[in-house]
Structure 1
Amino acid sequence: MLQKIEDIFSIPELRKRILYTLFFLFVYRIGAHVPTPGIDGGALAEFFAQQSGNLLGFFDMFTGGALSRLTVFGLGIMPYISAAIILELLTVAVPHLAELKKQGKEGRDKITRYTRYGTVLISSIQGMGIAIGLEAMTSPSGAPVVMFPGWGFRLVTMITLTTGTVFLMWLGEKISEKGLGNGISIIIFAGIVASFPAAVSKTVTLMKTGELQIITLILVVAIILAVTAAIVFMETSQRRLPIQHVKRAGTTIRGNAGSSYLPLKLNPAGVIPIIFAMSILAVPSTLATFSTNDLVQKISFMFSPNSAFYYLLSVATIIFFTYFYTSIIFNPDDIAENINKGGGVIPGKRPGQATADFIDYTLSRLTFVGAIYLAAVAILPQLIIKGFNVPFYFGGTSLLIVIGVGMDVINKIETHLVSHNYDGFLKSGRVKGRSLI
């Protein structure tokens, strides 16, 4: 392992990219501790201590605790991801965006520009909403979260949070350009990993006080390792459709020009369906924190992890969004057309609609397996840990993100090592990760 690390840092370009990435992440973590003006940090911490099961707690996980402290990076990079997903969905409904997507680099640059504008708009709306909501919040002890409410506080908070998100967007682009891997994914990865030391410290404290037994901890670690192995296996699995290329002279086939394959991921949608589903399911419990109405509280309970209905609805929504998002990002007709334009055919399938139907059929079956896998990753760890009555939360969603981004970074490192005639970072095999957007 030491030899591998030495090989990594012996390549000037790779060393520079790693150091750039570490520096940008250092800047991110510094900013995650710079507070927004006008907030009582103690009262806000008490309030968020009760929000682990709702939307606020869910998004706080992606910001590395910056939202619960309401720092300048309180919104994190989620507004950018939301804008990117919205633009991706709009390409189906808006012909202009669909045309831009086909125009190569120039079209992608315009879509990126629209995404940035959307990020500013979403951040401004969310920033103002958070500022207004904070003014009505009090800690469990009754202390107000906002010390000096009013339009001055609202505007300052909106501008501060929007500026922080825009800076993170720029930071992510710089990591992608000068660092290692997809910058947006790495920022989310860093935010999640930043909470691990505190979780370990809390676990040690619980063991010292006797609230957590050693046998229970061993079982939890075994579950984490099993889930990790399952995620790695599923994320690297793919269905390879063989493609036979032929030489043509006009409409006449002149011979075989080689073969290749079309790789279809078992989980093409990534973690996006879980984010969609959990965000929607967390809305009722979030609204309940601002209301004492009996009906609202009953609805909130149904949508909380204490209700069986919550888990059934979670599975259903994750499956739905997996199919929905996969249908957005994959168009079998376009894939079949591109195969035909490249002079390729899938053996046993006629070019055109027959090929598109076969790809759609194969992709539908893969998506079903991927949807069940995502639902299991999101739900089973919660059920198992709840069954063991372990007093801390282990989320399959965060583990899925961490492993996916980690695999992507390792793949980038391996590419650099192999291109400079070194052995890969791993002794055998290639690791293929994914970015979040």
Structure 2
Amino acid sequence: MFKTLSNAWRIKEIRSKMIFTLLMIVVYRLGNIIPIPFIDKKVVSQLMSSNAGGLVNLLDLLAGGSLKQMSVFALSIYPYITASIVVQLLTIAFPRLGEIARDGEMGKKKVAKYTKIGAVILGIFEAMAIANGLFAKAIVANGYIQSALIITSLLAGSMFLVWLGEIITEKGVGNGISIIIFLGIVSNLPTQIGTFIYGIITGTVGILTIIGVVLAAIAIVVIVVLINEGERKITVQYAKKVVGRKMYGGQATHIPVKVNMSGVMPVIFASSLLAMPQTLSLLFSGGTPNWISSYLTVEGSVGVYVYSILN
């Protein structure tokens, strides 16, 4: 791996893309510490502890912990992911939209435009749900101006991340949206490792726990790699044909079929679909209805089955 990176670094074009990607990652991390005005972080921490659930955990996971900090990136790219799901479902439900999606590069641009419009609309609703529903008690100075500023900051931060993902894809290395999701997921890893090491030093973490965690981590990595890289080769035999006095064809080849062809997207889709009703319920007084908490979150037994079916 290090040899591959070293060889890539020697190529000027790839080196420029790698440096650009790293700079954009720095911008992303800086945005995670820029606070939204008129928000009491202590109250936010208390509300998150008392309202721990599928929606809050999902939003904070995608946001890389910035929801707890109530930074300008608190919404992350969750509205864009949800809009992508909705648009993809609509391309199946409406043949006309499906034809547009299959209309080459121009069709892809139109679908991307519809997705961004949907992301803005969903972003407004989700920002309102956070400002006026989930964290309404954390607002220091209540008022229309304060609420509008908070909603605008959340929406602008989310759309900036969408733009950041696109520019990384265009001028950097890899898929920008996937990189942002990855950064959000692993951003808390150093803190967790530090807490674990501190527990080892102070003696609060036993030797059996250390061995168990290390073995579990190794096993998870091995299983994930095996499933991700595993494939079955289906043999394909081409028929022979005679052209003039020569015989062509007859070669045997294979079609590789991956064990996990869909990757991690079903998990993201299922989590987003389950979180949508919770997000909308925050716009209304009374909080999240009991039936949503029971049937549409992974904390409920029925919700686990629904989540598994969606996957």
1:298 and 1:83 mapped to 2: Cα distance? 21
State whether residues 199 and 205 of structure 2, in contact with CA within 8 Å, keep that contact through their aligned partners in structure 1: yes
1:280 and 1:87 mapped to 2: Cα distance? 13
2:58 — aligned with what?
58
1:339 — aligned with what?
none
1:91-130, Cα deviation, whole Å (9 max, x unpaired): 1111122112222111111111111111111111111111
Mapped pair 1:93 → 2:93: yes
1:81 and 1:292 mapped to 2: Cα distance? 24
1:79 — aligned with what?
79
Mapped pair 1:165 → 2:158: yes
Of 200, 206, 224, which residue of structure 2 is paired with 1:207?
200
Mapped pair 1:272 → 2:261: no
Q: C-alpha displacement at 1:5, in angstroms? A: 4.0
1:146 — aligned with what?
139
User: Given residue 164 of structure 2, which amino acid in structure 1 is its aligned partner?
Assistant: L
Q: C-alpha displacement at 1:224, in angstroms? A: 1.4
1:189 — aligned with what?
182
1:321 — aligned with what?
310
Q: C-alpha displacement at 1:171, in angstroms? A: 0.5
1:221 — aligned with what?
214
Q: C-alpha displacement at 1:211, in angstroms? A: 3.3
1:177 — aligned with what?
170
2:2 and 2:292 mapped to 1: Cα distance? 56
Q: C-alpha displacement at 1:34, in angstroms? A: 0.7
1:301 and 1:213 mapped to 2: Cα distance? 38
2:191 — aligned with what?
198
User: Given residue 227 of structure 1, which amino acid in structure 2 is its aligned partner?
Assistant: I
Equivalent positions of 1:18-417 (< 5 A) are: 18-134=18-134, 136-137=136-137, 145-243=138-236, 255-256=248-249, 261-278=254-271, 296=290, 305=299, 310=301, 313-314=303-304, 316-322=305-311
State whether residues 54 and 282 of structure 1, in contact with CA within 8 Å, keep that contact through their aligned partners in structure 2: yes
State whether residues 235 and 253 of structure 2, in contact with CA within 8 Å, keep that contact through their aligned partners in structure 1: yes
Structure 1 range deviating more: 28-37 or 278-287: 278-287
Q: C-alpha displacement at 1:259, in angstroms? A: 6.0
Distance change >3 Å, CA 91–CA 262, structure 1 → 2: farther
Q: C-alpha displacement at 1:227, in angstroms? A: 1.0
> Structure 2: where are the runs of 5+ without partners?
242-246
Distance change >3 Å, CA 169–CA 244, structure 1 → 2: farther
State whether residues 171 and 183 of structure 1, in contact with CA within 8 Å, keep that contact through their aligned partners in structure 2: yes
State whether residues 277 and 318 of structure 1, in contact with CA within 8 Å, keep that contact through their aligned partners in structure 2: yes
Distance change >3 Å, CA 267–CA 191, structure 1 → 2: same
1:244-283, Cα deviation, whole Å (9 max, x unpaired): 56799xxxxx953866544433223322332344456678
Q: C-alpha displacement at 1:239, in angstroms? A: 3.3
Structure 1 range deviating more: 21-30 or 82-91: 82-91
2:99 and 2:74 mapped to 1: Cα distance? 35
1:103 and 1:302 mapped to 2: Cα distance? 36
State whether residues 270 and 310 of structure 2, in contact with CA within 8 Å, keep that contact through their aligned partners in structure 1: yes
1:405 — aligned with what?
none
State whether residues 130 and 136 of structure 2, in contact with CA within 8 Å, keep that contact through their aligned partners in structure 1: no
Distance change >3 Å, CA 225–CA 173, structure 1 → 2: same
1:302 and 1:190 mapped to 2: Cα distance? 27
User: Given residue 180 of structure 2, which amino acid in structure 1 is its aligned partner?
Assistant: I
Distance change >3 Å, CA 256–CA 4, structure 1 → 2: closer
1:326 — aligned with what?
none
1:353 — aligned with what?
none
**Partner-residue secondary structure (3-state), 1:239:** strand
Q: C-alpha displacement at 1:3, in angstroms? A: 4.7
Q: C-alpha displacement at 1:191, in angstroms? A: 1.5
State whether residues 53 and 297 of structure 2, in contact with CA within 8 Å, keep that contact through their aligned partners in structure 1: no
Q: C-alpha displacement at 1:81, in angstroms? A: 1.2
Structure 1 range deviating more: 149-158 or 273-282: 273-282
Distance change >3 Å, CA 30–CA 247, structure 1 → 2: farther
Structure 1 range deviating more: 20-29 or 40-49: 40-49
Distance change >3 Å, CA 273–CA 317, structure 1 → 2: farther
Distance change >3 Å, CA 91–CA 55, structure 1 → 2: same
State whether residues 35 and 69 of structure 1, in contact with CA within 8 Å, keep that contact through their aligned partners in structure 2: yes
State whether residues 238 and 265 of structure 1, in contact with CA within 8 Å, keep that contact through their aligned partners in structure 2: yes
CA-based RMSD: 3.3
Q: C-alpha displacement at 1:6, in angstroms? A: 3.0
1:347 — aligned with what?
none
State whether residues 284 and 303 of structure 1, in contact with CA within 8 Å, keep that contact through their aligned partners in structure 2: no
1:284 and 1:124 mapped to 2: Cα distance? 15
